[in-house]
């Protein structure tokens, strides 16, 4: 493998790529970018960065269902919103004697979103996983809208359309940079867990479910149980993301559960690349950047993102990372031409991605 060409600067990167694999390198790269982000000038960058991270976790949880299991859910934001409301209500309760939330109370409020959302997704998932394809999409959309509707209408509990206001994180986390690193830490841990899950036998079972459920059943896999477990995990992580969102924005509203927000996760995953571990995170960066930039000029954001999605679906269905992957692959092939090439893993439809 050591040719004259690898002595160039590019050779180092190539060897790193080959040693670690495409997904790992992308993850590492994005991780470095996100850690260093607050060094950029201005507070707004950090605000956008926090949005990217939290929504990125939300999109990653969605991708468990879509990229790994092959089912598209248009109601995933319901769990995100459920987590946000759980944390919001708990914080409200802790704040009820006036003043601020203590650190333990805050962490507790955030963490409690996980079991609550897991329970919610267990109930919803019980019904959804009995179906696939179109019916899964329709049912998930319907459940999402139902949960939105419940939160919207149940004024006495959730304050309906008014939302819950005045959520203050503990004093130190009110500084956006601290909150940014707090979120980054939480999301990093979550991603580590997701990495373990997707690269475990369970993760590979999911991929098989995506490809051919019948065959999986013939191999003795309990398809329904696997799908349900995955649904619950996806819901729980979405809830964790939502839990981080509430204190960040200082308020929650029923919109968080709606179909537009569900669409956000879908779009991020699509833009970044559904078949790659870090696709949703990259998608989150691109989407949030687009959102932040374009909404300065126009209020017609859904129109813009709709058109972008249209173009992406038509011409770039694998997302940005698929283009990068293909380009790197061609570059590597050219560099190593003449030798027997056995590229390790990283094939979108099977291997490590």
Partner 1 sequence: MTFDVGSILLQLFSGLSRGMMLFLLSSGLSLIFGVMNILNFAHATLWLFGGYLTYSFMQAFVKTLGNQALAILPAIVLATGVMFLLGVVLERFIVRRMYPRELPEQLLLTFALILIFGDLIKLIWGVENRRIFLPIEPMEIMGSFINPYFFIIIGSGAGVALGLWWFLHRTRYGKIVRAAVFSRDMVSALGIRIPFIYAGVYGLGIAIAAFSAGVFLPIMPIGLGVDMDLIIQCFAVVVIGGFGSILGTFVASLIVGIVYSFSILIWPDGALAIIFLILVGVLIWRPWGLFGTEMRF
Give the interface with partner 1 as residue ranges (CB under 8 A): 66, 70-72, 74, 127, 130-135, 137-139, 141-143, 145-146, 149-150, 153, 259-260, 263, 266, 270, 300-303, 305-307, 309-310, 313-314, 317
Total residues belonging to the chain: 353
Residue 74 or residue 231: which is nearer to partner 1 going by CB?
A: 74
Tokens of 19: 């040693």
Residue 137 or residue 328: which is nearer to partner 1 going by CB?
A: 137
Residue 131 Cβ, how far from partner 1 at the closest point, in Å?
Answer: 6
Residue among 175, 173, 168, 179 nearest 99 (CA):
168
Residue among 144, 122, 133 nearest 261 (CA):
144
Rounded-to-integer distance, Cα 336 and Cα 320, Å: 24
Rounded-to-integer distance, Cα 334 and Cα 3, Å: 13
Contact 234, 132 (CB under 8 A): no
DSSP string, 249-261: HT-B-GGGGSHHH
Rounded-to-integer distance, Cα 304 and Cα 318, Å: 20
Residue 36 or residue 134: which is nearer to partner 1 going by CB?
A: 134
Rounded-to-integer distance, Cα 242 and Cα 110, Å: 9
Tokens of 167: 């959520």
Rounded-to-integer distance, Cα 326 and Cα 309, Å: 21
Residue 285 Cβ, how far from partner 1 at the closest point, in Å?
Answer: 20
Residue 66 Cβ, how far from partner 1 at the closest point, in Å?
Answer: 7
Residue 47 Cβ, how far from partner 1 at the closest point, in Å?
Answer: 25
Q: Which residues contact 188 (CB under 8 A, 6 or more apart)?
A: 31
Phi/psi for 164 (5° steps) reads -110, 125
Residue 136 or residue 182: which is nearer to partner 1 going by CB?
A: 136
Residue 45 or residue 221: which is nearer to partner 1 going by CB?
A: 221
Residue 300 Cβ, how far from partner 1 at the closest point, in Å?
Answer: 5
Residue 337 or residue 349: which is nearer to partner 1 going by CB?
A: 349
Residue 184 or residue 312: which is nearer to partner 1 going by CB?
A: 312
Residue 227 Cβ, how far from partner 1 at the closest point, in Å?
Answer: 11
Phi/psi for 103 (5° steps) reads -65, -45
Residue 331 Cβ, how far from partner 1 at the closest point, in Å?
Answer: 27
């Amino acid at each position: 493998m050591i040719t004259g060409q690898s002595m160039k600067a590019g050779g180092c990167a190539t060897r790193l790529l080959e040693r670690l694999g495409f997904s790992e390198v992308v993850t590492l790269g994005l991780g470095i970018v996100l850690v260093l982000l607050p060094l950029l000038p201005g507070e707004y960058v950090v605000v956008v960065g926090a949005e990217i991270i939290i929504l990125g976790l939300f999109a990653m949880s969605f991708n468990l269902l879509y990229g790994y299991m092959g089912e598209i859910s248009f109601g995933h934001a319901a769990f995100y919103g459920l987590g946000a409301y759980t944390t919001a209500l708990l914080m409200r309760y802790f704040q009820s004697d006036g003043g601020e939330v203590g650190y333990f109370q805050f962490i507790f409020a955030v963490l409690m979103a996980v079991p609550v959302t897991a329970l919610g997704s267990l109930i919803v998932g019980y019904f959804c996983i009995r179906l696939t394809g179109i019916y899964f999409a329709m049912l998930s959309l319907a459940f999402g809208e139902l949960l939105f509707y419940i939160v919207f209408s149940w004024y006495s509990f959730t304050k309906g359309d008014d939302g819950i206001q005045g959520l203050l994180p503990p004093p130190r986390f009110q500084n956006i940079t601290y909150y940014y690193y707090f979120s980054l830490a939480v999301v990093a841990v979550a991603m580590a867990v997701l990495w373990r899950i997707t690269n475990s036998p369970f993760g590979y079972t999911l991929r098989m479910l995506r490809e051919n459920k019948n065959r999986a059943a013939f191999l003795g896999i309990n398809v329904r149980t696997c799908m349900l477990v995955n649904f619950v995990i996806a819901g729980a992580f979405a809830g964790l993301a939502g839990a981080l969102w509430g204190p960040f924005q200082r308020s929650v509203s029923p919109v968080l559960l709606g179909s537009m927000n569900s669409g956000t996760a879908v779009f991020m995953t699509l833009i970044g690349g559904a078949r790659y571990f870090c696709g949703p995170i990259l998608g989150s960066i691109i989407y949030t950047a687009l959102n932040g930039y374009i909404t300065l000029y126009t209020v017609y954001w859904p129109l813009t993102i709709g058109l972008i999605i249209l173009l992406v679906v038509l011409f770039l269905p694998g997302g940005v990372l698929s283009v990068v992957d293909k380009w790197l692959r061609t570059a590597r092939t050219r560099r190593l031409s003449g030798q027997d090439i056995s590229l390790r893993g990283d094939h979108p439809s099977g291997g490590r991605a």
